[in-house]
């Protein structure tokens, strides 16, 4: 089960009491459970001999006694009585609607835009919106303006990210949303705020409700924008003002840019990315744009890295974009003067080309000598931008000199991961298999670093930071899978691997293929996914899910010590084979 660093565990699986092996065990769902799914699976086990009944019906089990049947859910309360040999357990699942209920006699709670203070440039559109009962009349006052809001005919909300795993990706219609847009005018010198919009609702029965939005709307003066500097290392830049939005290339500490918009705690920088206010500090209110010329470029070798060193007039925002055999480095707010490049003799970069891709964006393309990139990192030293590329490892007859980081997923009673049919949690299997794999890799000469040796509670970002610090040759995060409630635990099996940067794709695909083919395991696909443990840039970094904890057959295989040893052999062989193939 994987965890997106910004969100709580996506697929919570709560264990019930561990029981002796002679008894009936229901590990999921918990005794009382709420869900919006249209079906639910019951995960558990009982001794192989005899029958398990759910609400009087016999259910399918595998040869070791595990079961994971799914049952449809009606809206409201659903009661499941699970029986085995005189023992009985009752589970109550309450199904609620996935759609928020429409308000009857007022605005839906927190539905008036904006909910937080916002700021925009003159000329931008501001769209006011509110959720109200059908057939109402909704108006709003914004400064001197009065707007009539109309029902949104085709507003849709996308299915959440996890729907990719269940295949149910249809967009859902949003009902009850009323909208109207207006263009912001130039602020006057006295008045740069429009205040909070005041909404008025006339219900079909004639009653009316008036409510003020929580957030105010400010208009920024384009000649007096604030310049901020990134203080976080690195700053997290996104495509929008919420952690739901995609990540852009992290901004190295020291980057400067002007603020062209605000949404609560988020700031929009002039180059386009959004960053939290807390990750920056104000350095100027002069309104002077952040701009740089670029001319000569130098380079040097520093231990395992080849560094490209680009002197700038000011630390501008950057974007790094990898392809199979190139690294593109885009400098925003930058104009080229095409000076001389000095590229040292190095094992990684063949040559560097450049292009002025827009009047204000300059792009370097680093052409690599091999078709495998081994990691990159960026930093500012004052106004000097340094892009470092990891040099390819040199392989001996064994794995001497190779540094491998293993990350056993989850840990501690706070973070069990998925709990399998027989009650064993994912965290116990990931550490067992990781230790077996560590011993094999160490025997082959590799240096192995583990994110945890014991039953420790370590967050995904902390683990990723260790990867950035250690700079291993490769990093592998080991997990076992589970499903959201709507999934089919009885039928879903297989190994999956996740990569994020192109430099990690080959390793993800190779290990997935190697394990599925060598051990004749089912495939559950190779995914691109923005996971904390796939996100480090300093090394090819892969997260692998080695089977489903909640599938009756796979749970038996996953928890069998003989099979765990075979799996560790196969992973060690696979890692070495991939390193040699590169």
Site of interaction with Zn ion (CB under 5 A): 1, 409, 417, 479
Contact 332, 291 (CB under 8 A): no
**Cis omega (within 30 of 0) for bond into 400:** no
Residue whose CB is less far from Zn ion, 402 or 418? 418
- How far apart are CB 14 and Zn ion at their closest, in Å? 15
* Nearest distance in Å: CB 504, Zn ion: 18
CB of 441 to Zn ion, least distance (A): 21
**Do 44 and 82 touch, CB atoms closer than 8 A?**
yes
Assess contact for 192 and 122: CB atoms under 8 A: no
- Cβ proximity to Zn ion, 327 vs 544, nearer residue: 544
CB of 471 to Zn ion, least distance (A): 24
CB of 422 to Zn ion, least distance (A): 17
- Measuring CA to CA, how many Å separate 356 from each of 289, 292, 322, 334? 19, 13, 18, 9
Question: Among residues 273 and 425, whose Cβ is nearest to Zn ion?
Answer: 425
* 416 token code pair: 């069990």
User: Which residue, 1 or 128, has its beta carbon nearer to Zn ion?
Assistant: 1
CB of 3 to Zn ion, least distance (A): 7
Q: Which stretches of 73-226 are assigned E, i.e. beta strand? A: 76-84, 87-95, 118-120, 125-131, 137-142, 145-151, 156-157, 172-173, 177-183, 193-195, 198-202, 208-212, 217-219
Distant-in-sequence, close-in-space partners of 482: CB < 8 Å, separation ≥ 6: 1, 11, 13, 417, 418, 426, 489, 548, 549, 550
Compute the distance between CA of residue 521 and CA of residue 516 in angstroms, rounded to an integer. Answer: 4
Nearer to Zn ion, 1 or 40 (CB): 1
Tell whether the torsion through CA atoms of 483, 487, 490 and 495 is positive or negative: negative
Residue 545 CB, shortest distance to Zn ion, in Å, is 7
Whether 73 and 35 have beta carbons less than 8 Å apart is answered as yes
Q: Least Å distance between CB 275 and Zn ion?
A: 29
What tokens appear for 235 in the block? Answer: 């700053």
State in angstroms the smallest separation of the CB of 530 from Zn ion: 16
For Zn ion, which is the closer residue by CB, 260 or 496?
496
Nearer to Zn ion, 7 or 21 (CB): 7
Interatomic CA distance for residues 32 and 36, integer angstroms = 14
Q: Closer CB to Zn ion, residue 61 or residue 479?
A: 479
> Are 544 and 578 in contact, with CB atoms under 8 Å apart?
no
Under DSSP, is residue 235 helix (H, G, I), strand (E, B) or coil?
A: strand
Closest of 307, 304, 300, 344 to residue 327, by C-alpha? 307
Closer by beta carbon to Zn ion, 41 or else 364: 41
State the greatest distance between any 2 C-alpha atoms of the chain, in Å, as a whole number: 85
């Amino acid at each position: 089960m994987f965890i997106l660093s910004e969100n709580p565990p996506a697929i919570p699986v709560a264990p019930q009491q561990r029981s002796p092996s002679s008894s009936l065990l229901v590990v999921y769902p918990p005794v009382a459970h709420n869900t919006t799914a249209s079906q639910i699976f019951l995960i558990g086990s009982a001794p192989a001999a005899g029958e398990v009944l759910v609400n009087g019906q016999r259910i399918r089990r595998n040869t070791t006694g595990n079961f994971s049947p799914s049952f449809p859910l009606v809206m409201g309360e659903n009661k499941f009585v699970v029986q085995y040999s005189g023992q009985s357990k009752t589970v109550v699942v309450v199904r609620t609607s996935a759609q928020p209920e429409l308000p009857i006699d007022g605005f839906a709670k927190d539905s008036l835009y904006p909910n937080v203070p916002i700021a925009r440039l003159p000329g931008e559109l501001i769209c006011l919106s509110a959720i109200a009962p059908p057939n109402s009349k909704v108006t709003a006052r914004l400064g001197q303006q009065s707007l009539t809001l109309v029902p949104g005919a085709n507003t849709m909300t996308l299915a959440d990210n996890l729907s990719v795993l269940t295949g149910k990706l249809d967009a859902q219609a949003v009902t009850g949303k009323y909208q109207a847009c207006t263009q912001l005018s130039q602020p006057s010198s006295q008045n740069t705020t429009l205040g909070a919009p005041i909404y008025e609702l006339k219900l079909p029965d004639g009653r009316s409700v008036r409510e003020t939005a929580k957030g105010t709307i400010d208009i920024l003066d384009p000649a007096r924008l604030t310049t901020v500097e990134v203080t976080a290392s690195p700053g997290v830049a996104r495509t929008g003002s919420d952690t739901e939005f995609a990540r852009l290339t992290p901004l190295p500490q020291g980057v400067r840019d002007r603020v062209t918009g605000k949404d609560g705690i988020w700031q929009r920088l002039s180059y386009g990315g959004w960053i939290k206010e807390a990750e920056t500090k104000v350095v100027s209110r002069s309104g002077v744009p952040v701009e740089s010329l670029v001319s000569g470029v130098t380079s040097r070798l520093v231990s395992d890295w080849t560094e490209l060193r680009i002197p700038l007039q000011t630390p501008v925002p950057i974007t790094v974009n990898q392809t199979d055999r190139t690294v593109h480095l885009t400098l925003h707010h930058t104009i080229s003067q095409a000076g001389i490049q000095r590229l040292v003799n190095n094992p990684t970069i063949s040559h560097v080309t450049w292009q002025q891709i827009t009047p204000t964006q300059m792009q370097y393309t680093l052409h690599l000598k091999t078709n495998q990139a081994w990691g990159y990192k960026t930093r500012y030293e004052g106004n000097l931008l340094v892009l470092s590329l990891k040099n390819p490892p040199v392989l001996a007859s064994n794995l001497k000199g190779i540094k491998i980081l293993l990350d056993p997923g989850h840990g501690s009673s706070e973070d069990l991961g998925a709990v399998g049919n027989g009650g064993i949690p994912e965290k116990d299997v990931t550490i067992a298999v990781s230790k077996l794999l560590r011993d094999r890799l160490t025997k082959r000469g590799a240096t192995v670093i583990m994110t945890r040796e014991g039953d420790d509670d370590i967050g995904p970002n902390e683990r990723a930071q260790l990867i950035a610090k250690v700079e291993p040759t490769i990093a592998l995060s080991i997990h076992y899978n589970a499903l959201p409630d709507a999934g089919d635990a009885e039928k879903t099996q297989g190994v999956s691997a996740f990569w994020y940067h192109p430099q990690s794709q080959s390793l993800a695909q190779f290990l997935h293929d190697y394990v599925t083919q060598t051990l004749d395991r089912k495939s559950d696909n190779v995914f691109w996914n923005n996971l904390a443990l796939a996100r480090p840039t300093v090394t090819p970094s892969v997260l692998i899910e080695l089977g489903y904890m909640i599938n009756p057959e796979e749970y038996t295989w996953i928890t069998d010590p003989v099979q765990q040893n075979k799996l560790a052999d196969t992973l060690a062989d696979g890692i070495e084979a991939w390193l040699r193939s590169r």
